[in-house]
Amino acid sequence: MKTLNIDEATLPFASIRDLGKALENREISSVELTRFFSQRLEKIGPTYNALACSLSKYGRDIAGDADRNVKNQRSSGPLQGIPYGAKDLLAVAKYPTTWGAKPFSDQVFDYNATVIDRLTARKVPLIGKLAMVELAGGGGYTSASASLQGPGLNPWNKSYWSGGSSSGSAIAVAAGLTPFALGSETSGSIITPASYCGVTGLRPTYGLVSRHGAMPLSWTLDKIGVLARSADDCGLILHEIAGKDDNDPSSARKSFYYSPKYYRKLSDLKIAYAEIDFSDWPDEPMRSALQNALSVVKSVDAQMVETKLPDFPYGPVIGTIIDSEGASIFEQFIRSGAVDQLADQGQIAGLKAALTYSALDYLKAMRVRTQIRTAFRELFTNVDLLVAPAHFNIPERADQPFDETPPKRPDQKGVGAGLVQASNLCGFPAVSIPCGFANGLPVGLQIVGPIFEENRILAFASEFQRRTDFHRQHPPIS
C-alpha cells in the first residue's frame, strides 16, 4: 500500500471526504482500499457476528472501474471507489439474501435492489452483506440471538448487544470494517444500533429512498437508510441513493441535494426538547453524558422550546400496523409451519399471533395514525426540530434474554418517550449521533425534523459534531 496522508492506523475510521481525497490524489487505489476493507470485514466481521456474506470479488470488479475513472479524470460522485456493506435484506443478484433467517438461507434473487444498482452505477464497491435480526424483527423478538449469524456483539464491549435490526451494519461501521453501510428502519432499526454502537445513523423521510429489492415488513413504514461515521458522510450518501423509482409504488419521487453550506443560520431554529428527558428519564449511568449533550445543543444558540409530545398510544398503534402488515406479507410462511425454523421462540409466537389481528384492529390503528400526523404537523408549525436521547437505557446483554420488566420511569413525559415510534408513524427523517459514554458504552442523541428536511437535521447534527469529538472516537483497532 502506498504512503497515505491517512495512515493505516486511522484508515479504518477515515471519513468519506478523506477517503475520496486520497483516491483523487492517487495516494491509494480503490482496488487497494477495497482489498483492505474486505480483509478486515472477512477476518473481524465474524467475531462480532456481523458478516452474512462476503462480496470481495464483486467489490473489486467495481473498484477496478472506479480506478479507471480516476485514471481518465472522470468522477461519478463523492462515493466513487469507497467500499461499503449492505444489510442482508437488500437483494444482490446471484448472491444469497437471507433476511437474517434460517428458512431463507438459500434464497437468491436474479436482480439487485435499486439502492445497490444506484451505487454500482456510481462505481461504489459493495464488499459484503451484513447480518441482521431475522425478518427485521417482525413479530418481535426476545433476545439478541434472533439472527442467522448469532447475536450482534457490540464492538465497544462484546458482552453487550449491538442493537437491531440493522445490527451488522452498525457493527461494521463502528469496528472500522466498512466506511459506511446501508440499513433499514421500520421502528428504530437504524436509530437503535447507531446509538448503541456509537455511529451516526440516518433514517430518511418515508419514500425518499427506493425500497425495491428490499425485504418488506411493513409497506407503510419501511425505510432504507444509512449508517456512517458522521452526519456529513450521511448527507453525501443520501445524495447518491435518494430519488424516484417507478419500481417502488411508495416512492416519493423526490431527489435529495445535500447542501449544508447553504442552509439557513442554525441560530434561527426553534428546538423542541424536554429537560426531563435528560435528567430523570435516562438510566442513572447515562445522565451525565446526556446532560452534557444538552448543554452542547443549547450552545448553538438556537431558541430552545420546552415541550412534550402529543398524547397518543404510539407503541400500540405502530405495533398493530407492523404486525398486521407483516402477517399479510408472511402469511404463507407462517401458515406453512416454516416459521418454526426461526431462532427466537418469542418471534415465532409473535408472528403466529399477528394472524389474529382483524381488519377492524388495523383500521382503528390507521385512523389514530392520521390523528398523530395531524398533531405533528401542527407541532412543526411552531418548532423546527425535536431533540431527545435516542434511548434511555444502555444496551442489553448479548448472552441473556431481554429483560421484559418495564423499567421505572417518571409519570411525566417529555419528547423522548415515544419519539421513535411517533416519527416513524409520520414518516419523518431522523438522525442518531454519538453524544457520550455510559459504563464504557456509547450514548446517542436523536434529532427529528419534518418530512424532506434532511438538510435541516444534518446541518444541526454536523454543528453538534463540530463542537464535539464523540463521532471520531472508536473501539480499539482490531
pLDDT at 32 over 80: yes
Chain-wide mean pLDDT for the chain? 96
In the chain, the percentage of residues whose pLDDT exceeds 70 is: 98
* Band (478; pLDDT cuts 50, 70, 90): low
Distance CA 132, CA 86 (A): 10
* Band (138; pLDDT cuts 50, 70, 90): very high
Asked whether 221 and 322 are in contact (CB, 8 A), the reply is yes
- Return the C-alpha cell found at 380: 412543526
CA distances from 342 to 22, 113, 288, 320, 346 (A): 44, 24, 40, 21, 10
Class of residue 470 by CB neighbours under 10 A (exposed 0-12, middle 13-18, buried 19+)? buried
Q: What is the pLDDT of residues 88-130, one digit of tens each?
A: 999 999 999 999 999 999 999 999 999 999 999 999 999 999 9
Q: Give residues with Cβ within 8 angstroms of 389, minimum separation 6.
A: 277, 278, 281, 282, 286, 290, 416, 443, 444, 445, 446
Please give the average per-residue pLDDT across 193-215, as a whole number: 98
Task: Identify which of 127, 116, 114 has the alpha carbon closest to the alpha carbon of residue 178.
Answer: 127
- The hierarchical CATH code for the domain 91-107+133-478 is 3.90.1300.10
In the chain, where are the structural domains located? 91-107+133-478
Distance CA 112, CA 414 (A): 42
Q: Is 129 helix (H, G, I), strand (E, B) or coil?
A: strand
- Is the bond leading into 165 cis (omega within 30 degrees of zero)? yes
Q: What is the pLDDT of residues 456-471, one digit of tens each?
A: 999 999 999 999 999 9
Predicted pLDDT at 246: 97
Please give the average per-residue pLDDT across 168-184, as a whole number: 98
Task: Identify which of 384, 373, 424 has the alpha carbon closest to the alpha carbon of residue 191.
Answer: 424
Distance CA 316, CA 373 (A): 16
Distance CA 366, CA 80 (A): 42
Asked whether 446 and 438 are in contact (CB, 8 A), the reply is no
Identity of the amino acid at 77: G
Backbone CA torsion sign across 147, 150, 156, 157: positive
Q: Is 310 helix (H, G, I), strand (E, B) or coil?
A: coil
Distance CA 249, CA 63 (A): 32
Please provide residue 5's backbone torsions phi and psi, each rounded to the nearest 5 degrees.
Answer: -65, -35
Predicted pLDDT at 63: 98
Distance CA 86, CA 166 (A): 9
In the chain, the percentage of residues whose pLDDT exceeds 90 is: 95
pLDDT at 5 over 70: no
pLDDT at 473 over 80: yes
Task: Identify which of 157, 227, 151 has the alpha carbon closest to the alpha carbon of residue 192.
Answer: 227
Predicted pLDDT at 6: 61
- What is the 8-class DSSP label of residue 408? P
Q: What is the pLDDT of residues 373-432, one digit of tens each?
A: 999 999 999 999 999 999 999 999 999 999 988 889 999 999 999 999 999 999 999 999
CA distances from 128 to 83, 177, 294, 303, 326 (A): 9, 10, 37, 43, 27
DSSP β-bridge partners for residue 448? 386, 430
Active site residues: 87, 165, 189
Give ∠ CA 99-102-108 in degrees, rounded to 5: 55
Distance CA 379, CA 62 (A): 46
Q: pLDDT higher for 4 or 329?
A: 329
Give ∠ CA 160-164-170 in degrees, rounded to 5: 80
Predicted pLDDT at 305: 98
* Band (264; pLDDT cuts 50, 70, 90): confident
Predicted pLDDT at 2: 46
Predicted pLDDT at 371: 98
Predicted pLDDT at 477: 77
* Band (18; pLDDT cuts 50, 70, 90): very high
Q: What is the pLDDT of residues 186-197, one digit of tens each?
A: 999 999 999 999
Predicted pLDDT at 274: 98
Q: What is the pLDDT of residues 343-376, one digit of tens each?
A: 999 999 999 999 999 999 999 999 999 999 999 9
Predicted pLDDT at 30: 98
